A and B are shown apart, each in its own frame.
Chain A
Amino acid sequence: MRDRRHHPLRAVGIVLVILWSIVPIYWAAKSSLQTESAARARPAQYVPLHPTLANFRTLLLGSGNVATGIRHSLLNIVIECAAATAVTVALAALAAYAFARFHFKGHNVLFFTVLATMAFPPYTTLIPLYRIMSAFNLVNTYTGIVLVYVSGFLPLAVWVLHNYFSSIPASIEEAGLIDGASRLQVFWHLVLPLATPGVISIALITFLFGWAQFLFPLVLSTDLSTQPLTVLIAALQGRHIVPSTLMSAAGILAIAVPAAIALLFNRYIVNGLLAGSTK
């Protein structure tokens, strides 16, 4: 009865929430399908009257600098995010398992240190990391960028996976150990399968974090050989006159992958984020 009384207000609220989240994306998608003159037309077109794929064709299929740049940087960002995710999840899983199941000298100190680095403001380490990478000649290499990403994403991954591993009853592993399996076999065959949702969650979240990076790759990747899509698209704004419709199309390209991931796998992502927040 109480719920029904709240319904109309809540329905309005829900609609507002949806509009709030969708409208900016819709607007960019709409302009990406218009020509510049249609976008500036008055009376304003809120739905494209003559949708066209010309902008996307220019960006993806063209032979000019812009198009080759976009294709190359799209490849770069996929490689960098995938590599960073794989390394982060692998290392974090091993460490989180150790933290969850073993008591060893330095356990608390190390665990606390790893988590404490999460509290560092993101760009505190920007300059020193740049100088360290340049000392090892790793600036503008996939290796350098992936190393920096991994160092940033590890703490949260360790924390989330630690929560998942801790919630798996130890009795399952003990049964395996009694049967003669080694710790690592138990980990691989018994624990990991049970923790798969958690692993998938943190893998998705890490991938999204990697895709969203801007200032770090801006500094660490000096040209197209490693520049991710996000940096290239921001640079497009600074170049010659780029019509707002073309910029919108570039923006849509850049959000296509993360938006798809967020919509398709939202259960995993939400669970992962919530697991990371419970004390």
Chain B
Amino acid sequence: MRDVVAEPDRVDRSGSAARPQRRRLDVLPYVLVAPVAIFIIGLAIVPALFTIIESFFTVNELDPPTRFSGLSNFVELFHNHAVTNSAANTAFYVVVGVALSTVLGIAMAVLLQRPFRGRGLVIAILILPWALPGVVEGILWSGIFDPNAGLINNLIATLHFGAGNGVLLGQNRLLTVGLIELVQVWQMTPLSTLLIFAALQLIPEELYEAATVDGANGWRRFLSITLPLARPGIAVAMVQALIATLNIFDQPYVLNGAASTGSSVTMETYFVSFQNLNFGQGYALSLVVALVTVALSLLVVRFIYRRVEL
């Protein structure tokens, strides 16, 4: 991006006759940009400032008026069992979700790396999970997890592993969070795959040929060429997955309701704000999530991202 230039790029050669034209040019970009600027400032920046500022206030419908309260919102949240419990669940979602979607994304991107007949169709099918609403995916998968009519239990019965009527969600915590995250991974992986796929497309064929000539086998080529050169794409994919998993709401809400077994931090933010009507705590929780997102994203960029010149 070029540096900001105070004068318009059109060089004024014709003196005063060009003045009206320059004035017209000066206003136009601002007119074009103004609507977006108003939206972003009014409905993104200002609300974000709200969140930051009001998390240090008591904003509670049951406890008016709004007043400054320092860190008390954060302290109360820290002592709220439901919130700390959801933080543990969310940590699981993040670790498992980012790891699994990235690994699967790399695997699928490598599968698609070389053109083959029908690749377009495979990509079309592959992006389906990404295109569907997370909420409805939760409903589709709850049909798979259903104790009686679900796919998993039906398979268990068919393969004679058991009676095939086990309760999969809600009973065992590890199984519950695992299955919930599986649904989110199903949704996130297509985007990871595409991002890494785009990075792979930039790797020149000659590098692989040279490596083969040198005697490297497939696995070696993957580790030494593919993986390192795909790092920019992998980093972006990981950041996307990070944001999605940290803010997970739809899947646990639909699959396991208000129970604490699979509850996520965003769910608790929703309950604290709209059920308990304690908006101050809701802001505080949102702020914490935002800070964690920024911190972890910076870590990913610092350690995974690498500027690649090809």
Contacts and interface: CB of A to CB of B under 8 A. Distances in A.
Interface stretch (B74-82, B223-231, B265-273): B265-273
A147 to B, nearest CB: 7
11 contacts: A17-B122, A40-B148, A103-B2, A113-B45, A127-B282, A154-B39, A212-B132, A214-B250, A233-B135, A267-B120, A269-B127
Q: What's the dominant secondary structure at chain A's contact region?
A: helix
Interface size grouping (class) on chain A: 35 or more
A185 B194 CA distance: 36
Given A36-B149, A46-B154, A91-B36, A233 B136 contact: yes
A200 interface: no
A215 interface: yes
Contacts of B197: 274
Contact of A6 (B43, B123, B218): B218
Interface of A: 2-3, 6, 10, 13-14, 17-18, 20-25, 27-28, 31, 36, 39-40, 42-44, 46, 91-92, 94-95, 97-99, 102-108, 110-111, 113-114, 117, 119-129, 131-132, 147-148, 150-152, 154-155, 158, 183-184, 208, 211-215, 219, 230-231, 233-234, 237-238, 244-245, 247-248, 250-251, 254-255, 258-259, 261-263, 266-267, 269-270, 273-274, 277-279
B155 to A, nearest CB: 8
Contact of A124 (B28, B36, B51, B128): B51
B149 A40 contact: yes
Given A3-B114, A21-B126, A122-B247, A277 B198 contact: yes
A154 B40 contact: yes
Contact of A28 (B46, B127, B140, B297): B140
Interface of B: 1-2, 4-6, 8-9, 25-26, 28-30, 32-33, 35-37, 39-40, 42-48, 50-51, 54, 107-108, 111, 114, 116, 120, 122-144, 146, 148-151, 154-155, 157-158, 164, 186, 190-191, 194-195, 197-198, 212, 218, 232-233, 236, 243, 246-247, 249-250, 253-254, 257, 266, 269-270, 273-274, 279, 282-283, 286-287, 289-290, 293-294, 297
Nearest to A29: B140
A105 B4 contact: yes
Contacts of A151: 39-40, 42-44
A250 B149 CA distance: 16
A126 B247 CA distance: 12
A159 to B, nearest CB: 11
B127 A255 contact: no
B136 A230 contact: yes
A231 B29 CA distance: 39
Contact of B47 (A25, A125, A155): A125
B210 to A, nearest CB: 13
B154 A95 contact: no
Given A123-B249, A262-B127, 5 more contacts: A28-B140, A42-B157, A107-B4, A126-B269, A248-B139
